[in-house]
Amino acid sequence: MKHTFLAVSIFAGLSSQALAATYQLTELPRYEGGKYTFISDVNDNGQIIGAATSLFGLPIDVSYIDFDDATIKNAYDQAKKSYEDIDEEISFTLEDIQNGVAATNADANRFMLSFLGARANSAEYQKLQDRIALNIDAVSAQEQVLFDSTDADTNGLTRSTSNYLTSISEDGTIAGWGSAPFSKTTFTPEGQSEEKTFFVRDWSSRGIVITPQGEKVTLEPAFTEHGGYAIATDIRKLDEGGYVVVGQSSIGIPENRQTNYDDNCDGKDEPLQVCRWVRQLSTSRPFYDLRAFKWQLDENFNVVSSESLGLGLTPKDDENDAFISAALAVNKAGVAVGYSPYREGDDLYPYGVAGYFKEGNFTPFKDLERWYELGKATDINNNNIAIGYMAENVRNVIREQVAFYYDLNEGKYVELPYFFKGSKAVATDINDAGFIIGQAEVEKNSSNRRREGFIYQIGDDKVTNINDLLPCKDSSGNNYPYTIAEAIKITESNHIYAIATKTVERRDRLGNIEKDSNGEIEYESVTLPVLLTPNPSGEVEDCAPPEAEKYERQSGSAFFLTLVALPFAWLRRKALKLAEK
């Protein structure tokens, strides 16, 4: 594949921080309608997909709410008291909300979002999703609508759908998944005279492919009863023409869940759509049997074939709950990697471990020793080297989480070095030159350890914190304003696309800048997308003050000279995806 230098050139005019470090950071466009902007993938032409969360001005539908009901009155009284406890006065009434003030009063908007969020599992209240999908170019980050639709009560999109873009191929074809929008319906329960309002949808998830021309192709699941379920996690354009997409699909309903549905869903007390939605909410008892799945598309984006990629065990007759596998990445050779439960003899590994799929079978990457091991393979390059993480689930606490790479050619499993013993890590992307990026914990003594991005070269004995390759100060002499929290994509020239944190002016739920009681602007840390470009003439700087306590970590930055000296020829593909499943 021939790569162009478009990704470098189109961002040349954007804000950047070069200085003398080994990487130059360029801040990429953020979505203006939300607090947080993320990258999920980038192709070799610099086309970026991502997401935005904490959206400003989410639409609140109050048309169905009974404001005389004790539920919302009690919630309002609690909110009012919380203001009084800090010697402040609440700025809205329930009557104000009934008259639409949530669209103009940020406190009222926040109250309603909290009220609805606490009732997310009830079909009697509006459903909102605080995340949209994005296309990001040199100028702006624009929303990519997947399955949402317009609604008169929200005066626009319903904002009730899940929206995930996961992968973009070399020609700009995008893969991802999303849910159907919720709509209002009325229903009169048996034995009652008054109808009730419910929010229902047709299905919980479908895979999607979006062509370079913007046309949408829905990837249907193999099993669609009660809606079905499908996601697309990776797409690859094939040299012989067409595309291969991998992900996950429902293939059936396990016996226990079908029995539960039959015993409870009779359409008497609530619509059948509501009953099935409630049963599909459970994460501990999944409604569907889900399998790693592959769709084949021709050059005109017609789905020409689809197939299950398999499972790491054969369910026994008395195992009546769901089993789940998923493919998270595929290379040009068609090798798919992901995770699956696994059985070897009488030893069952139920949580799902990292491995690869071949001819309907699943093979773990490592010899499994403890039944509570778990993990996921997150990417595979065109040299058949896969990456991911493995860990242990001890009484529902994740421990000993390590990043790894696995060479399918040699059958070799290698754990990556770590910042310090106990630092949880995950590898997210690998290029064909064998450079791996990811993120790992950098704090020892904290209940909520902060993570930062790392880079590692296969064969080295150390990992490097990417922040060590950035300047200590900005061009004005102030502390460098960016921290690389997640490394998402590394190109063949070792350009890195990442998610950074930066302190900016705090904004409320309507997007207004917030000020304290003295009229001073408040600030907060947000995430934003950045591009890191190798600087061959730069040097690693020592940013730590002498008095700072340094943790003893297995990391280093000596290999950066090799890294920045590589030729600027981008030879490949894409990266990232960690399905939260």
Instruction: Tell me, letter by letter, the H, E, C secondary structure of 237-291.
Output: ECCCCCEEEEEEEEEECCHHHHHHHHHHCCCCCCCHHHHHHHHHCCCCCCCCEEE
The average pLDDT across 356-374 equals 92
Q: Which of 148, 310, 314, 163 is nearest to 222 (CA)?
A: 310
Instruction: Please compute the mean of the pLDDT values over residues 52-71 and round it to a whole number.
Output: 97
Q: Which token pair is 136?
A: 């990001």
The order of strands in the sheet holding 23-27 is 16-17, 23-27, 523-534, 496-505, 483-490
Alpha-carbon distance 246 to 402, whole Å?
A: 25
pLDDT of residue 571: 24
pLDDT at 545: 57
What number of other Cβ atoms are within 10 A of residue 562's Cβ? 12
10 Å CB burial of residue 196 (0-12, 13-18, 19+) is middle
Phi, psi of 75 (to 5 degrees): -65, -40
Q: Is the dihedral of CA 46, 52, 56, 59 positive or negative?
A: positive
pTM of the predicted model, to two decimals? 0.89
Model confidence pLDDT, tens digit, residues 432-489: 999 999 999 998 877 778 899 999 999 998 999 999 999 888 888 888 899 999 999 9
Tens of pLDDT, residue by residue over 333-364, are: 999 999 999 998 888 888 899 999 999 999 99
- For residues 403 and 354, the answer to whether their CB atoms sit within 8 Å is no
